[in-house]
Amino acid sequence: MQNNSYILTVSCRDVRGIVAAVAGFISSLDGFIIEASQFGDPVTEQFFQRIYFSAGAATPAYEEIKKRFADEVGIPFAMNFHLHDMSKKAQTLLMVSKFDHCLNDLLHRHQVGSLPMDIPAVVSNHEDCRALVEWHNIPFYYFPLISADKKSEQEAKTWDIVQKHKIELVVLARYMQVLSADLCTKLAGKAINIHHSFLPSFKGARPYHQAHARGVKLIGATAHYVTDDLDEGPIIEQEVISVDHTHSPEDFVAVGRDIESRVLARAVKYHIEHRVLLNGTRTVVFK
Amino acid sequence: MQNNSYILTVSCRDVRGIVAAVAGFISSLDGFIIEASQFGDPVTEQFFQRIYFSAGAATPAYEEIKKRFADEVGIPFAMNFHLHDMSKKAQTLLMVSKFDHCLNDLLHRHQVGSLPMDIPAVVSNHEDCRALVEWHNIPFYYFPLISADKKSEQEAKTWDIVQKHKIELVVLARYMQVLSADLCTKLAGKAINIHHSFLPSFKGARPYHQAHARGVKLIGATAHYVTDDLDEGPIIEQEVISVDHTHSPEDFVAVGRDIESRVLARAVKYHIEHRVLLNGTRTVVFK
Amino acid sequence: MQNNSYILTVSCRDVRGIVAAVAGFISSLDGFIIEASQFGDPVTEQFFQRIYFSAGAATPAYEEIKKRFADEVGIPFAMNFHLHDMSKKAQTLLMVSKFDHCLNDLLHRHQVGSLPMDIPAVVSNHEDCRALVEWHNIPFYYFPLISADKKSEQEAKTWDIVQKHKIELVVLARYMQVLSADLCTKLAGKAINIHHSFLPSFKGARPYHQAHARGVKLIGATAHYVTDDLDEGPIIEQEVISVDHTHSPEDFVAVGRDIESRVLARAVKYHIEHRVLLNGTRTVVFK
Amino acid sequence: MQNNSYILTVSCRDVRGIVAAVAGFISSLDGFIIEASQFGDPVTEQFFQRIYFSAGAATPAYEEIKKRFADEVGIPFAMNFHLHDMSKKAQTLLMVSKFDHCLNDLLHRHQVGSLPMDIPAVVSNHEDCRALVEWHNIPFYYFPLISADKKSEQEAKTWDIVQKHKIELVVLARYMQVLSADLCTKLAGKAINIHHSFLPSFKGARPYHQAHARGVKLIGATAHYVTDDLDEGPIIEQEVISVDHTHSPEDFVAVGRDIESRVLARAVKYHIEHRVLLNGTRTVVFK
């Protein structure tokens, strides 16, 4: 990403003239369009667009762009829009339990610079991943679930972290505890989970064992936004890998680690690059 | 496949000495092992093997091999076994409704020699595919479902074809009518269906539309043995393909044609090469 | 594709204001943008765009749109642009030798309506595919190479067909004869070949045998524009498939048929939907 | 892998009776075959087999098994054979330069137990990866190339490590220095390199840049045994990933990290599970 550049995402009812209005606005700012994608859904008649542009000599500051866009384009077209200043990295909270393959993968990608985000904290309900996290010089918070009735206390601690660090994205990197309806609501559209099956097959617990029992020839992983309805959130990314009769359920678990890591990493990348827009219970992903 | 060659498939309880006994038997016949695959399932403790061997100067005729194998190996190890004479092609009945992409694909593969089977007949409940089938010089039988209560009559005609041609494999190449429990039972382990979803997701009707509604990022096709329990039969082969937000349900249908054709063709090939063995409700596929 | 709709493709030097100008023009015509893709190459500083739009009540006829676009946008931005009337299907000539798998695949896709093109003729240097082509009610022209010094005569006959039918695309669907430099030049950017390897590996003859000798674990197919420099033309599409030690060169040939067919079909589809733009010796493909 | 189990790999001229002899031998030891794969190459007429078996009550110790097998089967069939005691993990030396993605991936897989090997040392010609290696409690040896004429000194230090730790496998995990012909010879069949292209395309330096210039639509990675002839060694594993016109050479590098890591990890796994047998300049890989 270039400095002094912005990503604008918009959605609105699909009518004539939107593209001309948006592009005309950027042109009027002396902006230069680096990348642009758009989609008009013929069924819902909704229009979606993502524009990545760099500022020119005459481009005003962030707040001024935003205000002007609202006045000149956003409000007239009744748009839902966001303007992202690309000099600011996404503040991201990772949550993990015991299995550390997704965590290790995300931390490594972050370290080599392929995921443009800040990770001010990692939260876990177990101590297992502390050493890995701290080796990356990231604060590790251990918030165990002491008893079932203490769940709201545990979640309150997590929520404090979210607020303190102005977290824009929560990544459940194999966090094996269901979030409460309340927390799901608060994090709507900004929490990504990795489920270790090709949803909607094998929802719930032990999906690899369910898959083995059914005798499938491919196993999968699904990254989706977290909603109150377990494993039913909008899907961002999926991938499968071949298995055969020689694989035990434990082999599925081992083979699955790779695709879980990859699928989650891609979903996180799409999100923090503002490539994912919600279209009802489905997603538009501008790759 | 070589002339004067055989494929032996066996399954039995997994104990010491099976491989030595089977290989020793083939050696005693002066046979030469061209290809061999085996699998011991640690969970069910069942053993599965497929051996493709050519006859030597001292190898007796088919019936004699079979009898001797039963006496010397099959019965002592309480085996379920089959000996296939590779000079005989599998007698295969294709069944189709209106969509002809799987049919066209199978007929073309048959024509270029990549599927070693005979197709003495194609049965359909519609007339749409007659021209294509007859162009391949294969008899086309039109058995429509005149009314719901005439289903057993319709199926009786199909069953006559099966018996008359000593059909060993029935392929439902997008045959859009559910077989009766009775016919499923008669064809157990010798009828393959292609379902246009990645089972167990989206069973039943209009799977592409179900998939679109859920917003999945991959769509699939599944070839499985037909059982009385719809779309629950043992899976032989599966494949998926990427889709995105720009695909309508109709696009899923179009994209899906390719994977349906491929998945079905592979499953048919595995079956007629005797690579598929049943392991309960799952399959062992020696690729 | 909708009736009364157009695809506009443009390329030019990447400067500020292009998108606004193009979208503004379509808006001024009362047009509705159905699909739009763009790409600015940071290295060559070239801009590429494809816009699919439908006409509105106030949209003039094809020639008038074209003239006005040239005056108002094309000439000012020094654009290379094309306006395609989507009510006109691409006139496509297929050329084939003996292997008919790509031909069969293309004809079947054409028949089921997934490739929006007209096929006024098929040209071959062998008689093998005549029956298949004529079954599809398409004229088949047999232009054999009688002797090496008669090549220009043979190509002149093909060129006559091209001119007579105003052919916009020539597809070499396993046409196993090298086109002359002269014909390559005449067909620049409108002839697609399928090469049966993952180019640039294994150029020239018998690529599957070359691949087998090298012991690769994947084999591929490449669809590219034909140029005078054999197997060096701009690549449109590629795909690979896994192979292993059990595959003979003949197995590579058999397995390869599937990917050749698929890769060629996709490349043809991209071309006739005007999704492919040349960027020097590389392509921009708006999928 | 079970304790008290062995993997036997054999290759020899393909004649009648081998399988019976090998299986009969294991049976005579009271061994139980857990997994067995075999391949007869019809071209070279070589036979290859891998048998994983567990010892029974009457099975003698490793040396005795080996001696008896040589006497009873190995010598009579003129076999090249190896018997691996599965209670002993493969002693593996990793070599790396600056890019640590393959290293991080291998160390993580090792840590979670999916790669059954010991890593007594990591050797590098740079200091960059020291912290990561030492965090895993593995000794890190920094052997820089001080000047071109000191290469043999540098390699002598590496060779000392190989001998001291009885290294059975050397993994060049993005080690960006060419080994001398002498070291290649000493490590023949026991050094694996990852090349960041789909060989044989784009041998040598900067393969991603070569690939970008050619405009390919897929990029790849290849794991192969190291030989004196650069990038020409027997291929163990390959994988590709789609790219398009929007990817710069730097994007190829980033996308390629994932497939390099995966391909190398699979090749290492196949090697240390004794699944790879050499067949001239090609490999047999029993997956």
SS3 A26: helix
A279 touches chain B (CB under 8 A): yes
8 A C-beta contact, residue B260 and residue B171: no
Question: Number of C:D CB contacts under 8 A?
Answer: 85
Of A16, A23, A40, the CB nearest to C20: A23
pLDDT in tens, A166-185: 999 999 999 999 999 999 99
A231 touches chain B (CB under 8 A): no
Superfamily holding A90-285: Formyl transferase, N-terminal domain (3.40.50.170)
- Tens digits of pLDDT across chain B (287 residues): 455 899 999 999 999 999 999 999 999 999 999 999 999 999 899 999 999 999 998 899 999 999 999 999 999 999 999 999 999 999 999 999 999 999 999 999 999 999 999 999 999 999 999 999 999 999 999 999 999 899 999 999 999 999 999 999 999 999 999 999 999 999 999 999 999 999 999 998 999 999 999 999 999 999 999 999 988 999 999 999 999 999 999 999 999 999 999 999 999 999 999 999 999 999 999 99
Question: Number of A:B CB contacts under 8 A?
Answer: 85
Task: Using a pLDDT cut of 90, give the percent of chain D over it.
Answer: 95
Q: What is the ipTM of this complex?
A: 0.93
pLDDT in tens, C208-237: 999 999 999 999 999 999 999 988 999 999
Q: Report the chain B residue with the minimal C-alpha distance to residue C35.
A: B246
Q: What's the confidence (pLDDT) of residue D2?
A: 52
Q: What's the confidence (pLDDT) of residue C58?
A: 87
| Average pLDDT over all residues of chain A | 96
SS (H, E, C) chain C: CCCCEEEEEEEEECCCCHHHHHHHHHHHCCCEEEEEEEEEECCCCEEEEEEEEECCCCCCCHHHHHHHHHHHHHCCCCCEEEEEECCCCEEEEEEECCCCHHHHHHHHHHHHCCCCEEEEEEEECCCCCHHHHHHCCCCEEECCCCCHHHHHHHHHHHHHHHHHCCCCEEEECCCCCCCCHHHHHHCCCCEEEEECCCCCCCCCCCHHHHHHHHCCCEEEEEEEECCCCCCCCCEEEEEEEECCCCCCHHHHHHHHHHHHHHHHHHHHHHHHCCCEEEECCEEEECC
Q: Which two tokens stand for residue C41?
A: 């190459």
- Tens digits of pLDDT across chain D (287 residues): 455 899 999 999 999 999 999 999 999 999 999 999 999 999 899 999 999 999 998 899 999 999 999 999 999 999 999 999 999 999 999 999 999 999 999 999 999 999 999 999 999 999 999 999 999 999 999 999 999 899 999 999 999 999 999 999 999 999 999 999 999 999 999 999 999 999 999 998 999 999 999 999 999 999 999 999 988 999 999 999 999 999 999 999 999 999 999 999 999 999 999 999 999 999 999 99
Q: Does the beta-carbon distance from A27 to C40 stay under 8 Å?
A: no
pTM of structure: 0.95
8 A C-beta contact, residue B173 and residue B106: yes
Closest-CA distance, B121 to chain A, in angstroms, reads: 31
A residues 102-161 closer than 8 Å to D (CB): 104, 108, 112, 114, 135
Give the Cα separation of B170 and B166 in Å (integer).
11
Closest-CA distance, D285 to chain C, in angstroms, reads: 7
What's domain D5-85's architecture? 2-Layer Sandwich (3.30)
pLDDT in tens, A127-158: 999 999 999 999 999 999 999 899 999 999 99
Q: What's the confidence (pLDDT) of residue B1?
A: 47
Task: Using a pLDDT cut of 70, give the percent of chain B over it.
Answer: 99
Q: Report the chain B residue with the minimal C-alpha distance to residue A238.
A: B217
Mutate to test the interface with D, among A112, A129, A237, A287 (most CBs of D within 10 A): A112
Q: Report the chain B residue with the minimal C-alpha distance to residue D38.
A: B36
Q: What's the confidence (pLDDT) of residue C10?
A: 98
8 A C-beta contact, residue A106 and residue A94: yes
Give the Cα separation of B4 and B13 in Å (integer).
30
pLDDT band of C2, cuts 50, 70, 90: low
pLDDT in tens, C50-65: 999 999 988 999 999 9
pLDDT over threshold 50, residue A111: yes
A200 touches chain B (CB under 8 A): yes
Q: What's the confidence (pLDDT) of residue C150?
A: 93
Q: Where are the domains of chain A?
A: 5-85, 90-285
Q: Does the beta-carbon distance from D240 to C235 stay under 8 Å?
A: no
Q: Which residues of C are catalytic?
A: 231
pLDDT in tens, A162-171: 999 999 999 9
Q: What's the confidence (pLDDT) of residue B3?
A: 59
Q: Does the beta-carbon distance from B19 to D33 stay under 8 Å?
A: yes
Lowest mean per-residue pLDDT among A114-128, B1-15, C184-198, C254-268? B1-15
**Order of strands, edge to edge, in the sheet holding A32-40?**
A80-85, A5-13, A46-54, A32-40, C32-41, C46-54, C5-13, C80-85
A37 touches chain C (CB under 8 A): yes
Q: Does the beta-carbon distance from B216 to A199 stay under 8 Å?
A: yes
Q: Report the chain B residue with the minimal C-alpha distance to residue A287.
A: B244
8 A C-beta contact, residue D259 and residue D170: no
Mutate to test the interface with B, among D15, D19, D32, D284 (most CBs of B within 10 A): D19
Q: What's the confidence (pLDDT) of residue A58?
A: 87
Q: What's the confidence (pLDDT) of residue A122?
A: 98
Q: What's the confidence (pLDDT) of residue B2?
A: 53
Of D43, D281, D287, the CB nearest to C215: D281
Q: What's the confidence (pLDDT) of residue C204?
A: 87
Provide mean pLDDT across the span A210-214: 95
8 A C-beta contact, residue C217 and residue C244: yes
pLDDT in tens, A231-247: 899 999 999 999 999 99
pLDDT in tens, D41-100: 998 999 999 999 999 988 999 999 999 999 999 999 999 999 999 999 999 999 999 999
Task: Using a pLDDT cut of 70, give the percent of chain A over it.
Answer: 99
8 A C-beta contact, residue A199 and residue A222: yes
8 A C-beta contact, residue A171 and residue A96: no
SS3 D142: strand
Give the Cα separation of D188 and D178 in Å (integer).
14
